[in-house]
Amino acid sequence: MTMTAERVSVPLNGAGTPTGPEGGLLPSPPKARRRWGLFAAMAALVCLGALGNVWLHQATTNAKQVVAARTMIERGSIITRDQLVTVQVGSDPALRSVPASALADLVGKRAAVDVAAGSLLTTDSTTDKQIPGSGHSLVGVGVMPAMMPGTKLMAGDRVRIVATPGQAGVPAATPGAPTSVAAVVVSTFTGPDTTGQGAQTIITVDVPSGDAAELAAMAASGKVAVVLDSRDR
At 76, which CATH number?
A: 3.90.1210.10
Burial of 141 (0-12, 13-18, 19+ CB in 10 A): buried
CA distance 131 to 159: 17
Query: Is residue 41 included in any domain, yes or no?
Result: no
Query: Is residue 27 included in any domain, yes or no?
Result: no
Q: Are 180 and 214 in contact (CB under 8 A)?
A: no
Is the domain of 156 the same as that of 93?
no
pLDDT value for 137: 92
Query: Is residue 3 included in any domain, yes or no?
Result: no
Domain ranges, residue 203: 136-230
> In the listed set 72, 101, 127, which residue is the last one of a domain according to the structure?
127
Q: Are 189 and 199 in contact (CB under 8 A)?
A: no
Classify strands 201-208 and 110-111 as parallel, antiparallel or unpaired.
unpaired
Q: How many helices and strands (H and E) does the chain possess?
A: 3, 9
Radius of gyration of the chain measured on its C-alpha atoms: 42
DSSP character for 115? B
Query: Is residue 2 included in any domain, yes or no?
Result: no
pLDDT value for 36: 64
Question: Across the 233 residues of the chain, what is the mean pLDDT of every consecutive 10-residue run?
Answer: 54 54 54 64 74 61 82 85 89 76 90 86 83 88 90 88 70 64 88 64 92 93 91 68
Residues whose CB falls within 8 Å of the CB of residue 144, separated by 6 or more in sequence, listed in order: 197, 198, 200
Is 0.85 surpassed by the pTM of this model? no
Is the domain of 104 the same as that of 151?
no
Q: Please work out, in degrees rounded to the nearest 5, the angle formed at the alpha carbon of residue 81 by the alpha carbons of 79 and 87.
A: 105
pLDDT value for 167: 47
Nearest Cα residue to 186 out of 200, 215, 207:
207
Helix H or strand E segment including 105: helix 103-106
CA distance 10 to 152: 104
pLDDT value for 178: 79
